[in-house]
Structure formats: structure tokens, C-alpha cells
Structure 1
């Protein structure tokens, strides 16, 4: 076999093994070391079994990941999200927004969607957002006689918004993988994120207005006698502190006042201050937040180590060049290439997490972008939109399974699937709008930072 054929065998073996359920990070490292041993084998220079350059490559890749300045922000942002989650700040936020939006159609769904958006922005972990909001808001909506599918869709779709809206951890990982400035990525994702959240809100209010049975308005007794002054006070003590924390972190990054790592450290400190201010910080909650942060950060870092080792060996064997030559020989137009790339990412989202797709498969497409004249920043924002569908598309919609795991027994999985389908339409609509009007993503980075 030629080296490029071995590279294709390496990629096929990797896909086969992960479909069997083996841990992806260790599969990547094992495949990289195994095939790398073959790729770098030099019998004339070998003095022992371990005298192979693949081991030097593995050590260097590990050190590069651990010293990467961009990735330093990941554990800090994770800690900010986990401490907000453990301190019961989201509970207070949802109750306040529910009262503030009580006169609007689908008020509880609006409150749940805005809470999901803020919390998803703070933590960036889809499973944590859907699970927590499923325990907090989903039973409340069912008790208020909301349609089960309608309520399910709100929780699942809202919980996925943190993939796109800055400060998104996914965008940090994409920046480290692609070499695109994380500051420009955050600026580029701002308007598309608000656009998608706005589409969700318009859908919720519009459907509740046209069909009040799926989201009944609360009675006067349920609304209670809450004055405007009390609502403002509740917002000042629950909504604005968390929103101010997120906007401060994001603003410091976008305006160049701090690096992403520095802003993330301020965000982590701000999360601790909020927990103390709400008298919700305990030693047990702090331990849980630190443990979850370390566990998730270790997963991301070892994925990077495995991925970079795997991709280095794959490239050395000529795999990337073989794929590039094959794609270029098809003589695709830019729009056709973009559709095919996004379709592949969409399908990969069924068996894989977003982190694995970004770290392992996106680098295969990146070298092809200059040939088709596609901006890597634009490509990253499209991927961030696309990856939300992987959590919402049956039959492998992980957000639906997260919600089903904590939902009341009478809630069927088919009802949850039915609830998320309209949001898939809105995501694809947002992707189409972004391609037709790329200024949605590119205008702000160009105005603030230039080309």
C-alpha cells in the first residue's frame, strides 16, 4: 500500500472504532501513535523499540496544547458557567423573567428562552443548560398547561444557543484549530447569534398568539399583584447582574481591553462574586464547580492532543493532499463545496460531539477554503449554526435525550422530537440568510478590526 492509501485506511479505521463506542480522545492518540510508528519508522536509525520520532511528536503536541494561550480561556469560562449553575442564579433569573413577561403571549416560554440564552452563553455546555432548565422551567410550563411539544422545543433549542452566542467555548476551540482571531470570531458571531435568538422569540410569541391553547395566558390570580417598581427591582437583582457580567467579559474582549484569557478570569471571579452576593456559595458547590471544570477541560485538552497527533500523521502520510486533490478534481463551485461541507458536518453531528467535529474533521476542510474564496471566519460561524442542528435532529438529537432523561414519565420522546422540528427550520433559515447576506457576520469585524 502507498502512504496515501494507508492514510485513508487510518481515517476509515478511526471512524469505525469510534462508532463502536470507544473513547474518542484515546482512540485518536492510539491511532496516531500506531500509524505514526509506521509512518516514521526508520530501521537505519532505530536503536530500540521506542526510538521512533512519533513519540517526540506526541510529547511536542501535548506541550503545545497545554501552553496554548487561546485554550487557557476554556477552563476559566467553564468555571464561570458552572459556578453560576451551582449557585442557583438561574432559578432566580427564570422566576423574575416569568413575572416581567407575564403580559406577553407565551410569557413563560419567553422567560425560559431568554434564561436559556443567558445561561447557555455563560456556560457553553448544552447538556448542562438543557438539564437544568428541564428541571426548572419545563415542569413549570407543563403545570401552566403548556403544550408538551411546544415547551420541549423551547428548552432544547434555547439550550443550544451557547454554541454560537459569544463568549462561546466552541468558537475558542475553532479559533485554536483554524488560526482565526478569537476576537474577530466573537465579533462575527454577535449578530448571527442575536438573529437566531430573535427568530426563536418571534416564533414563540407568534405561535402563542395565533394558538393560545398551546401556551395559555396566566389568570389574574396566577399573575398576582406585582407593581412595576417591584418588577424593576427584581430585574436589577437577578437579570442585570448576570447580563452585566457576560457583557463585561464580552466587551473587554471585543474592545481590546483584555485578552480572552484575561476576560475569562474576570468572568470567573465575577461568577464567584455573584454567588457570594446571593449567599449561595458553599464549599460543596465550589468543589463541584472546580471538579466539573477540570473534568471538561481535561477532555478538551486531550482531544486536542489526540487530534493534532492524528492529523500530523495523517498529513505526513499524504492524506490531506489526497483529499484536497480529490475535492479539487470535482471542479465544484463555492456554493456547492459549502453545501457539501456543511452537509458532512451536519451528518457527523449525529454520532459525534461538537468538540470532536471541530478538532478532528474541520481541519480537513480548512486548507480548501482559499481555493473556493471562502472566509474562514464566515465558515466558522456557519459551522456554529450548523452544529446546533446536531443536538436537535432526530433520531440522534442529544438535547432531546437530555430533556427526556429528567422529564416526567408521561412525556414521550416523539413529543420532544416534534417540538424541536420548527427550530431546525429556523436554523437552516439563519444559515441561508448568512450565506445570502454575509455582512451579517463580516460587517462588525471589518468595521472594528479591519480586514
Structure 2
């Protein structure tokens, strides 16, 4: 076999192993080292020590060092810590209740409150599993007891929980910035309007759907609604502090006052202050947050090391060149190239999560952007929207499995799948809107930082 053929075999074998359930980070690492040993093999093994005289081990060492010294990635553990502290501060349940009461006159008020709560909390957390799990425990029982259709309620929670990987400050965008060597500030600015657009389309869908089928979401009874003064006070107490924290973090980044890492540190401190303000700060909760942050950060680091090692070997064997030549051979128009790439990413979202898609597959297409004259920030936003589908596309829709894990026998997995399908269509529709109106992503970064010049 030629080296490019070995590279394609490597890629296919990786997908098969992932589908079989092997841990992704260590599968990437093992395959990178295994195939890399072949790729960099120079022969001449005469003693046992010569077995380790292979450049793949030097590459692995360098990739590990590069991950650990990457300044952009420093923001990840700090944002994770902020999210875990906020999660344990009992802010989310107050936020959901107050938003539900404030939106009581709108069709599907509890679903709207759940979506807004998911958007705010996922923005602070950035962890899809944590948001879907917590909202599954908090919002789903409340909606079910109010007579909401279970398919409808489950779709709201699954779709809302994924917004955190798109709306800044998003960990996914930090990862993308590191991979594509783009400015995280510009990426954050570019993601603001697409994220708000998607959240607004979700809310619009809920309102229209409930207006056409009122039985999906019965209105709250008047006797269950507290006085207006209490509603507004709850809303101020629960919504304003968390929103102010997120706005401060984002404002300091977009205003050029702080780097993402510095803003994340400020957010982590702000999360501790909020927990103290709500009288839920304890040594046990801080210790849990630190432990979970360390665990999640270690997972991300191993994923980066494995992915970069895998991608380096794949490229060295000529895998990137094969795919690039294959795509360029079609002599595509720019819009055809964009559609082809988004279809590939959409299909990859069935077996893979966003992290593997970003680190392994997106770098294959990045060098082609200049050939087709595509703005890299516009391309990044199309990819970011598309990656929402990796959590919402059956049969491997991870948000559905997160929700099923906490609800157990309260709902069937197939019902959750049916509930999230409309939101999958909304994501695709938002991508079409973004393609037709690129200013949705490009206006704000150009306004804040000047027009981007390729």
C-alpha cells in the first residue's frame, strides 16, 4: 500500500473503532503512535533500545508540550470552573422559575423559560451534558406535571442545552481558534448574532407550534401565578446577577480590555462571588468544582494530544493531500464547496462529537478556503452552527442520551428523537440564512476590530 492509502485506512479504522465504543482520546493517541511508528520508521532495529528510536515519540512529546503551553487553551479550565460553580450555586432553578412566571402570558411559557434558561446557563457553563442533565432534572418534571407533551418538552431541553457551544464565551470557539490560528476575539464577535439568531428561532418555533397546537403546552392556572411584584423581584434576583457576570466577561473580551484567559479568570472569580451572594458557597462545593474542572480539563488535553498526533501522522502520510486533491478535482463553485463540506461535517456528527470533528477533519478543509475565496470567520460560523447537529442527529444524538440518562423510564428514547427533529431543521435553516446574509456573522467583528483582510 502507498502512504496515502495507509492514511485513508487509518481514518476509516478510526471511525470504525469509535462506532465500536472505544474511548476517543486514547483511540486517537494509540492510532497516531501506531501508524506514526510505521510512517517514521527508518529501519535498523538491532537492540531493544532501537525500538524507541522513532520520531513518532518526539512528535508525541512535542504535541504534549504544545498543548500545555498554548495560551489560548488556558481559558478552558477557568470557564469550566465558572460553570461548575454556577451550577452548584442553585441559581438555575431560581432562574427557570422566575422566567417561567415572567413569560406566563406567552404560548408555551415554560418551554420559553426553559430555552432562555438553557441559553444563559449553557453560556456560563459551556458543557452540554451538564446543561441538559440539570435542566432534565429541573425543567422536564415541571413541564410534565403542567401537562406539557413529553416529546415537545424533551426537544426543548435537548436543543436549548446545545446552545452553549455556539454562544460566547464558548469553549468550542476557543478550541477552533487554536486549531485554525484565528483570533478568539473575532470568533466571539462573529458568533454573537448567529447564536442569538438560533436561540430566537427556537423560541419563535415554540410560540408558533403552541399557538397551532395548544394541547402541547397548557397555560398556567391563575391560582398558580404569584403576585407581579414577587415575579419581578425573583427575576431581578436570579436573572440579573448571572446575566451581568456573562455580559462583563464578554464585554471585557469584545472591548479589548482582557484576553479570553483573563476574562475567564474574572468569570471564575465572579462565579465564586455569585455563589457567596446566594449563600451556597461551601468548601465541599468548591472542592467538587475543582475536581470536576481538573477531570474535564484533563480529558480535553488528552483529546488534543491524541487528535494532533493523529492529524500530524495522517497529514505526513499524505491523507490531507488526497482529500484536498479529490475536492479540488470537482472544480466546484464556492457555494458548492461550502455545501459539500457542511454535508460531510453533518454526516460526521452522527458518530463523532464536535471536538473530534474540529481537531481532525476541519483542518483538512481550512487550507482550501483561499482557493475558493471563503472568509475563514464566515466558514467558522457555518461549522459552529453545523456542529449543533452533532448533538441533535439520531441515532447518536448525545443530548438525547444525556436526557434519557436522567429521566430513565419517564420517556422513551425514540420520543426524545422525535422531539428534537424540528430543532435539527431549524439549525439547517439558520445555516441557510447565514449563507444568504453573511453580515449576520461578519458585521460585528468588522465593526469592532476593522474589516478582515485575507
TM-score category of the 2 structures, normalised to the smaller one: over 0.9
Distance 2:62 2:88 in 1: 37
**Aligned residue in 2 for 1:78:** 80
SS of the residue corresponding to residue 238 of structure 1 reads helix
Q: Deviation per CA, 1:363-401, whole angstroms, max 9, x where unpaired?
A: 111111111111221111111111111211222222122
The yes-or-no answer on 1:175 pairing with 2:193 is no
Structure 2 Cα separation of the partners of residues 359 and 336 of structure 1:
23
CA distance in 2, matches of 1:59, 1:345: 30
C-alpha RMSD of the superposition? 1.6
Equivalent residue of 1:374, what SS? coil
Shift of 1:252: 0.6
Partner Cα separation in structure 1 for residue 436 and residue 53 of structure 2: 54
C-alpha deviation, 1:17, in angstroms: 2.2
Q: What is the rounded CA distance, in whole Å, between the counterparts of 2:145 and 2:165 in structure 1?
A: 30
For residues 378 and 258 of structure 1, what CA distance do their matches in structure 2 show?
Answer: 24
* Secondary structure, aligned partner of 1:393: coil
Contact kept, 8 Å, 2:37 with 2:54, in 1: the verdict is yes
Q: Distance in 2 between matches of 1:41 and 1:421?
A: 48
Mean Cα deviation higher: 235-244 or 207-216: 207-216
Structure 1 residues 394, 48: CA separation in 2 closer, same or farther (over 3 Å shift)?
closer
State the match for 1:157 in structure 2.
159
Checking the alignment, whether the CA contact within 8 Å between 2:349 and 2:393 is kept in structure 1 is no
Secondary structure, aligned partner of 1:369? helix
Structure-2 change in CA distance of 1:409 and 1:33 (3 Å): closer
TM-score, normalising length: structure 2: 0.96
1:249 and 2:249 aligned: yes
Deviation at 1:356, TM superposition (A): 1.3
| Distance in 2 (alpha carbons) for counterparts of 1:179 and 1:424 | 29
* Partner SS for 2:73: coil
Whether the 8 Å contact between 2:108 and 2:207 is mirrored in structure 1 is yes
Distance of 1:411 and 1:371 partners within structure 2: 49
| CA–CA distance in structure 2, aligned partners of residues 374 and 414 of structure 1 | 39
Instruction: State the 1:44 CA deviation.
Output: 6.3
Q: How many residues align?
A: 449
CA-to-partner distance for each residue in 1:291-337, whole Å, 9 max, x for gaps?
Answer: 11111111111111111111112222222112211211121222222
Q: Provide TM-score, normalisation by structure 1.
A: 0.96
Query: Counterparts of 1:62 and 1:128 in 2: how far apart (Å)?
Result: 27
Range that drifts further, 365-374 or 170-179 = 365-374
Establish whether residue 295 from structure 1 lines up as the match of residue 295 from structure 2: yes
Where does 1:211-250 land on structure 2 (aligned, <5 Å)? 211-224=213-226, 226-227=227-228, 229-250=229-250
Of residues 334-343 and 171-180 in structure 1, the stretch that sits farther from structure 2 once superposed is 334-343
Name the counterpart of 1:342.
342
Aligned twin of 1:355:
355
1:9 lines up with 2:9 in the alignment = yes
Query: 1:2-81 counterparts in 2 under 5 A?
Result: 2-43=2-43, 48-81=50-83
Moved more, 74-83 or 412-421: 412-421
2:428 maps to 428
User: Is the Cα contact below 8 Å between 2:45 and 2:51 reproduced in 1?
Assistant: no
Alignment of 1:321-336 (within 5 A): 321-336=321-336
Using the TM superposition, name which of 78-87 and 11-20 deviates more: 11-20
Shift of 1:9: 2.2
